[in-house]
Amino acid sequence: MSQDRKPDTRPAIILAVVALACVAATLAPPLAQWASYHDFADQRRILGIPNFLDVASSIAILIAGGLGLLKGNAIAADRALRPTYLVFFASIGLIGIGSVYYHLAPSNGTLVWDRIPMAMAFMAFMALVIGEFISSRTGAILLLPLVVLGFLSVGFWHLTELQGHGDLRPYALVQFLPLLLVPLIMLLYRARLVDNRYLLGVLACVLLAKAAELLDRPIYEITGIISGHTVKHLASALGAYCVYLWLRQRHNRVTPSEIR
């Protein structure tokens, strides 16, 4: 008689991390949008366009999303994950459009249209990582609920802002939880491709974007040319392009037997 297989504890570990993060976010005090958020370091008006470099660098994000939309469906080897990749790249393109709109006139009202596609992109990215490492079917099933949660996190923040007590906790959870879960999934599961350098590149770009956003003014004071927020946009565009390269690598190497 063959020995019983040991139970797979990996899903429980992932769910435990999600649960702990949700509990921590719930117990934390409400996180309001700080008043100085819209006071970016580089506010130069060039060619009549306010905040020119922040506006112009947003176009790089739009281009990265457009590239994925144009090429993604053709090179996605796993049909089950094609909608996930397309939603991700569409969200990236919308980030570029929303970012242009926001930086032309920064305010909480315009920021909503930048953050909605951003939250959707984070959740679509989470779904595609689940699809690539755990199960393409699971990733496809989770796409819609995850994207809806991303949308609702921004809606919650916006509604609480209108009521005078803004709360960013759900949106912060949507942004930072994938940064915990993606490395954890990479450690627990084996991807269909051994070479995950492009996925590591995505994580590096996200971390660079976050650091540059926090160091907006110091970077501008040091360079005198480019601000941290502009660097954030360029790093975000590069991260989206790394996802495209990761997808192209899958297309070049995946075999039908690896699609699950």
* pLDDT at residue number 260: 45
* pLDDT at residue number 259: 43
* pLDDT at residue number 79: 76
* pLDDT at residue number 7: 84
Q: In order of start, what are the domains of the chain with their CATH numbers?
A: 51-258 (1.20.1070.10)
Which contacts qualify for 16-19: CB closer than 8 Å, 24 or more apart?
17/180, 17/181, 17/184, 18/177, 18/181
pLDDT, one tens digit for every residue, the chain (260 residues): 445 677 889 999 999 999 999 999 999 999 988 888 999 999 999 999 999 999 999 999 999 999 998 876 555 556 788 889 999 999 999 999 999 999 999 999 999 999 999 999 999 999 999 998 998 899 999 999 999 999 999 999 999 999 988 999 999 999 999 999 999 999 999 766 556 888 899 999 999 999 999 999 999 999 999 999 999 999 999 999 999 888 877 655 554 444 44
pTM of the full structure: 0.90
Residues 6+ away with beta carbon under 8 Å from 10: 188, 189
The H-assigned helical ranges of 135-168 are 136-162
* pLDDT at residue number 3: 55
> Could you give the dihedral angle defined by the CA atoms of residues 97, 181, 69 and 78, in that order, rounded to the nearest 10 degrees?
-170
* pLDDT at residue number 249: 75
Give helix then strand counts, H and E, for the chain.
9, 0
CB atoms under 10 Å from CB of 251, counted, come to 14
d(CA 122, CA 133): 17
The dihedral through the CA atoms of 132, 134, 137, 143 has a sign that is: negative
Cβ–Cβ under 8 Å, residues 53 and 230? yes
* pLDDT at residue number 256: 46
> Which string of b and e fits 216-245 if b means at least 16 CB within 10 Å?
beebbeeeeebbbbbbbbbbbbbbbbbbbe
Given the structure tokens 């005078």, which residue do they identify? 164
* pLDDT at residue number 250: 66
* pLDDT at residue number 258: 46
* pLDDT at residue number 196: 80
